[in-house]
Structure 1
C-alpha cells in the first residue's frame, strides 16, 4: 500500500513537471528560436543600424551593455487606471512599453493613448480582441494585429513596431504575419500574475523576486491591484541599481527585427 502511494506521488510529480515544461515551451514560442536583449545588442551593425536605433530612441542614450537595465511593460490597456499610472511614471522619470488592446481599450481611451505616446512611452500592439493567435488562421492573425496597428497610427501618427501575443502563445504562422506587418514579438521574464490578485504588496514582491538584469517585466494596468504596486517596484529596483528603459532601448544599438521573438 505504501509502495503504491509513493509510486502515485512520483507519477503526479512527474506529470506536473511535464506540464510545467510544456507551458515553458509554449511561452517560449512553440519551438521558435528566441533572441535575448544581450544577443540583440551583440548582433547590431555598428553603422546604419546604430544610427537608426539612435533616431528611434531620442530619449534613450542608455547603454544597456554597461548599465543594469530593465524594461517595464504593461499589457491589455489602456483603461481607467492608466492615467494614474502615467502620473506615477512621469513623477518617477520612467518610460515604459505599453502593449495595447484595440477593442474597448484603444478605441475607448484615445486621449490616454495620445498622452502615453506624447510622454515618450513606447506604444506597442497586443491585438484587437486578445484572441490566442496560435489558434487562428493567417488572415485572422493579420486582422487582429493590423486593426490595432491602424487604430494606433490614427491616434499617434505611427504604427507600432512591437507586438506581444496574448498569453505569449505564438507559432510560425504568427511569426510570418508579424514579419509582414513589421512587428517584432516580445515576451517577458518577470510576471506577477496580477490578473489573479488585487494584493498590491504581493504583486510588488513577485516582481522584485523575479527581477534581473536585461529583464522584461509584465504587468497589466487594467487590474485594481497593479498600479498601486508600481511606485514600490520602481523605487526598490532603482535602489538596487537598475535603470528603467523601453524595450527598444533594451535592445539598442540593435533594432527590433520584424517577426523575431525577443525574450530575456
Structure 2
C-alpha cells in the first residue's frame, strides 16, 4: 500500500489561516479602493486637484484665489472680507427660477444663471426679473447636451443665438451687459473649444463645488456636500429645472450666512478678488 506524507492531510495551522485571512482582506481592500477612489474623487475633488486644474487650464475658471484667509473647507475661521463665493445655476430659465430668485433675495445672495436657449421662449419676463434682481446671465448653449460633441459651426451658431437672448434681456431692462461667460453642457471641453469660445469673446466657467444634483435628487444630502466643500473663492454649481433645488438652497444659504459668506455672481467674485495679490490680473492675462 503506498504511503502518503502525513502533512498532506493536516489542517492549516491557526497562524497560517490568520495569515491567509489577512492577505485576503488586504486584497479585498485594495480592490475596493481601486474602484471606489476614482468615483469619490470625481464626486468630491480635493482642493489641490481643483488648484491643479486652474493651473493646467488657466483660461478656464474653476475657482478664484482670494487673499490669505485661513479657512479650510467646512471650517469657520478666516478673514470675513475674503469669505466670498460665487453661486452658479445651470439650465435656466424654468418654472423654478422665480422661486430660486426669491429665496436668494431673502438671504441677500446673488447668482449667475446659465441660460439654455431652448428654454427661453415664453420665459423672457422671468429672465428680465432675474437681471433686475441683481443676478447675471451666462451662456449654456441651446440644448441640454454635451457641448464638446458639437461641431465648431454648430457651437458658434448656438452661442450667438443664446447671446441674442441674453443681450435682449439686458437691453429690455436697460442694464449694462456683463462679461461673456460660457459653461459647456456636461462640463467637458476640448482644446479646440477653448480656442473657439475665446475668439468669440467668452470665458469658460466651470467650478469647484458640485453636488451632482441632477443625478442625486436629495436636497439634504446635496446641501451637506456643498457645505463640506465650500471655501473662500469657491464657485458652486447647481441646477435650475429641478424641484429639489429650492429645498437644497434653503439649507445651504442660511448656513453660509451664519459662517459669514457673501454669495454673489461670477463677476462679483472676480471683482472681490481684484487687488488681492493680483488674482484677477493673473487670470485675465491668460484670456
TM range (shorter): 0.7 to 0.9
CA contact (8 A) 1:28 1:168 kept: no
Structure 1 214/130 Cα, relative in aligned 2: closer, same or farther at 3 Å?
same
CA contact (8 A) 2:136 2:178 kept: no
Q: In structure 1, which of residues 99, 104, 111 is the aligned counterpart of residue 114 of structure 2?
A: 99
Alignment of 1:61-72 (within 5 A): 66-72=81-87
Deviation of 1:70 (Å):
1.0
CA distance in 1, matches of 2:286, 2:184: 12
Q: Which residue of 1 aligns with 2:167?
A: 153
1:32 aligns with 2:57: yes
Instruction: Show CA shifts across 1:191-242 (max 9, x none).
Output: 2222123332222222111111111111112111111221321111111111
Aligned Cα root-mean-square deviation (Å): 3.3
Deviation of 1:6 (Å):
5.6
CA distance in 2, matches of 1:194, 1:18: 19
- Of stretches 87-96 and 156-165 in structure 1, the one that deviates more from structure 2 is 156-165
The structure whose RCO (Cα within 8 Å, separation 6+) is larger is 1
- Of stretches 129-138 and 79-88 in structure 1, the one that deviates more from structure 2 is 129-138
1:37 is paired with a residue whose SS is coil
2:86 is paired with a residue whose SS is strand
Q: Which residue of 2 aligns with 1:144?
A: 158
CA distance in 2, matches of 1:211, 1:203: 12
The unaligned stretches of length 5 or more in structure 1 are 42-63
Q: Which residue of 2 aligns with 1:245?
A: 264
1:73 is paired with a residue whose SS is strand
Question: TM-score w.r.t. structure 1 length?
Answer: 0.76
1:10 aligns with 2:30: yes
1:98 is paired with a residue whose SS is strand
**Length, aligned pairs only:** 236
Q: Which residue of 1 aligns with 2:90?
A: 75
1:130 aligns with 2:149: no
CA distance in 2, matches of 1:178, 1:258: 16
Question: TM-score w.r.t. structure 2 length?
Answer: 0.70
Alignment of 1:92-241 (within 5 A): 92-103=107-118, 105-157=119-171, 158=177, 161-241=180-260
1:99 is paired with a residue whose SS is strand
**CA radius of gyration, larger in:** 2
Structure 1 236/80 Cα, relative in aligned 2: closer, same or farther at 3 Å?
same
Deviation of 1:98 (Å):
0.6
Structure 1 169/200 Cα, relative in aligned 2: closer, same or farther at 3 Å?
same
Deviation of 1:28 (Å):
4.6
CA contact (8 A) 1:126 1:166 kept: yes
Deviation of 1:5 (Å):
8.4
